[in-house]
Structure 1
Amino acid sequence: MTHTHQPSDPSLLRIAGLPYFPIAFIARLPFAMMVVGVLTVVVSARGSLSLGGLTSAAVGLGTACFGPLLGAAADRFGQRVVLLVLAVANGAMLVLFTVVVYGAAADPFVLLSAFGIGATAPQVAPLSRSRLVTMITERMPEERRPRTISGTMAYESAADETVFVFGPFIVGILASIIAPWAPLVIAAGLTVVFVGAFALHPSARTVSQHRGSDGSAPSAASELFSARLLVVIAGVVGVGMFFGTMLTGLTSFMADRGAPEQAGLLYGVMGVGSAVLALGVAWLPPRFSMRARWLVFSGILLAGTLILLITDSVGTMVLALAIMGIGIGPTLVTQYSFAAARSPLGRSATVMTMLGSGIVVGQSIGAAVAGEIAEGTGTSVALVLPIIAAAIAFAAGIVNWRLSAVRSRPVTA
């Protein structure tokens, strides 16, 4: 006898509780402010754009090295203790970095403290995804899980998009109105308060039922390096590279026109469309398969980037950004949905932080390389880099199409 949906079946909103969503949303804001905030304060205090780019890359490197390890710790020991430690440590590192930058310390100490910011960054977005997926798979009727997971990934990606668009915008406003150090100090306060609240929320007790009493997982760590999971991470790194190269190239494009401060506003054209389309993924028909979505939407993203080759006005740039916005959000949602479906049992937080780190690494590398090229060779060459990044995401989608054709174990997220 099949289980039919009853009114008493709990919704995700009821399981998680309404306060969960605003807390989780604000708690991820400092993470989106970090890279741009660090760049802003270094350029202001040290007067070096090159050092600013390296410092932003150091933040990304810290996240890349420690993000997945922190995800593994959250899987093993629970999210609460890990997040409480990180909330305090990251808040302290943000303040320490600000003191170091304005002090007489040599550049290597600036880079080291930036690495510390990345290494202690509480990756709220991946841990929120892991928390919600665990709730869905363990407390919802089986036939409702796939659509609910798709809708949840759509919401989470739209929240990420919104935060990553408004994060740099908020940094710009605070730096202009108060001082260049203000965004990092305020981010430190937000981290302690809201990441702390996220850690103390009752849902932080939700631990996968697949974990043993000692916290051990039934799946081997080697399963994290399966081809079907690595191709998703490669695709996410491509998306991260696109974010980094596009924002930097767009800043250079607007600087050539004497209005670099307007880059964030134009970037918002892509971000708003992307967030709306990301939410819309949940309503796509099931017959439009996930592997097809990855190819179609990353193909739209790639097509949008090709317009950059002939962009000679702000109007053409806005058109290109609008088309890219159609592709980028749904591509990211689809990649996270694949990651949820392919996570080894009991290791969802590890997998989600691997993806979160992949975006930051791609963004940091992309921004650093695009900054050097824009400064040394010119904007037109820098605007080729988003095309390469989109091509990486599309190529990963092609490989995923082939890998998805191989029958896998049932989706358990």
Structure 2
Amino acid sequence: MSQIPPHSSPPNLFRLVGLPYFLIAFVARLPFAMMVVGVLTLVVTARGSLSVGGLTSAAVGAGTALIGPFLGAAADRFGQRPVLVASAVLNSAMLAAFAFVVYSPASFTLVLLAGFAIGATAPQVSPMSRSRLVTIIDERMPQAQRPRTTSATMSYESAADETVFVFGPFLVGILASFIAPWVPIAAASALTLIFVGAFALHPTARHVSITRGADGAAPSAVSELFRPALLVVVVGIFGVGLFFGTTLTALTAFMADRGAPEQAGLLYGVMGIGSALLALGVAWLPVRFSLHARWLVFGSIFLIGSVLVATAPSVGMMIVALALLGIGVGPTLVTQYSLGAARSPLGRSATVMTMLGSGVVVGQAVGAAVTGELAESIGTHAALLMPLVASAVVVGAGIVNRLLTPIQR
């Protein structure tokens, strides 16, 4: 029934899914990384209001956070292919329509609704890819290979996410600056239709859909999604999203005080690049270094780096603090996704992965909004304390996770 041919030699994931899959899945997640910044750039340019642009970007995030888990649940129920095809077509259309709405005399409310529609229809490529690969690992690979392969897969997926979230805003800036502010949205629309469509139609999607209905096993009850051991992972990954939002906003305030707010993205890239590289390195950590211990160790590095961010007196020290944060952030995110995969109820992996992805999005939106308000009303020092608060949430959730998990000897 599977479209993935068996091999006589020991299987590995790369051979099971093929190089084209990884290339398609990588480009397919790029439009998502371009959406929020692209919407902000277009609205600020066309409407001349930073506040309207910020609210519209927040509406995009709200749409993704509220609807994303339902798209994951639909994929678990009906298979990934029909959900992704519908999402790709709708999102591509919403992106194109958004540009017309912004440049038209439409009301602010309509602009917000259009932004929400972009987020609500956004294809959940990253969670779907994680769910798809974990399903293939569980069904097609020997038991002994599964833990390390799953860890390596989560490492790659997290590194790919962080790479596109560094490159996506950069691409938006290039296209908007050298061509026109609407071009990034048009490019995201085209990439969504072509590459998300290709991702939906790839044979691995059919494999997941066919096996889901072929074995006759009913999915676990919805109540299984609310077990404490799984919810603590959602809280932990919300803390990482909170950290992303607070850090970028605090860095913007920090650099604005020095007359160069546009350089905040460059400083943020120091952490992003290091985080992506360290995320890939998690695959080589020894199996005895358990997921629970990794969360606490790398989360502690995360916490120390946040203390340095809050007290950095100069740009040079801020760069050092961000480099240290990169060591902690990537491995922590990989660990949380690995725990989410391990604790996914039967037949609910896409739902769990979209819950985790939405946790990052919600945390990022909340962190950016609160930190921005603090920076304006109190000052940069208060804003720089917010990454420390976010890190405390991550470490606190890690401690609870350790207490909820029996020690294995």
**Does the TM-score normalized on the shorter chain lie above 0.5?**
yes
Partner of 1:206: 207
How many percent of aligned residue pairs carry the same amino acid? Answer: 70
Q: CA deviation at 1:48?
A: 2.0
Correspondence 1:147 to 2:151: no
Partner of 1:410: none
**Secondary structure in 2 matching 1:19:** helix
The superposition leaves residues 245-295 of structure 1 with CA deviations (integer Å, 9 ceiling, x where unpaired) of 111111222222222222221111101110111011111111111100001
User: How is 1:257-336 mapped onto 2 (pairs within 5 angstroms)?
Assistant: 257-336=258-337
Correspondence 1:345 to 2:346: yes
Gaps of 5+ in 2: 1-6
**Secondary structure in 1 matching 2:208:** coil
CA distance in 2, matches of 1:273, 1:327: 9
Aligned partner of 1:151: which letter? A
Correspondence 1:57 to 2:58: yes
Give the TM-score taking structure 2 as reference length: 0.95
Indicate conservation of the 8 Å contact 1:210/1:218, yes or no.
Answer: no
The superposition leaves residues 90-119 of structure 1 with CA deviations (integer Å, 9 ceiling, x where unpaired) of 011111112112211111111111110110
Q: CA deviation at 1:214?
A: 10
Q: CA deviation at 1:185?
A: 1.2
User: How is 1:68-217 mapped onto 2 (pairs within 5 angstroms)?
Assistant: 68-207=69-208, 211-212=212-213, 217=218
Q: CA deviation at 1:212?
A: 4.3
Aligned partner of 2:354: which letter? T
Count of residues in correspondence between the two structures: 402
Aligned partner of 1:14: which letter? R
Aligned partner of 1:260: which letter? P
CA distance in 2, matches of 1:352, 1:41: 30
CA distance in 2, matches of 1:255, 1:237: 27
The superposition leaves residues 346-370 of structure 1 with CA deviations (integer Å, 9 ceiling, x where unpaired) of 1111100111111111111212222
CA distance in 2, matches of 1:159, 1:85: 24
Partner of 2:9: 8
CA distance in 1, matches of 2:221, 2:162: 33
Aligned partner of 1:144: which letter? Q
CA distance in 2, matches of 1:376, 1:401: 38
CA distance in 1, matches of 2:269, 2:169: 10
CA distance in 1, matches of 2:207, 2:343: 20
CA distance in 2, matches of 1:86, 1:356: 16
Which 4+ stretches in 1 moved above 6 angstroms?
none
Aligned partner of 1:203: which letter? T
Aligned partner of 2:232: which letter? V
CA distance in 2, matches of 1:153, 1:86: 24
Relative to structure 2, which stretch is displaced further, 209-218 or 307-316?
Answer: 209-218
**Secondary structure in 1 matching 2:19:** coil
Gaps of 5+ in 1: 1-5, 408-413
Compared CA separation, residues 360 and 400, structure 1 to 2 (3 A): same
Indicate conservation of the 8 Å contact 1:36/1:56, yes or no.
Answer: yes
Q: CA deviation at 1:372?
A: 2.4
Q: CA deviation at 1:168?
A: 1.3
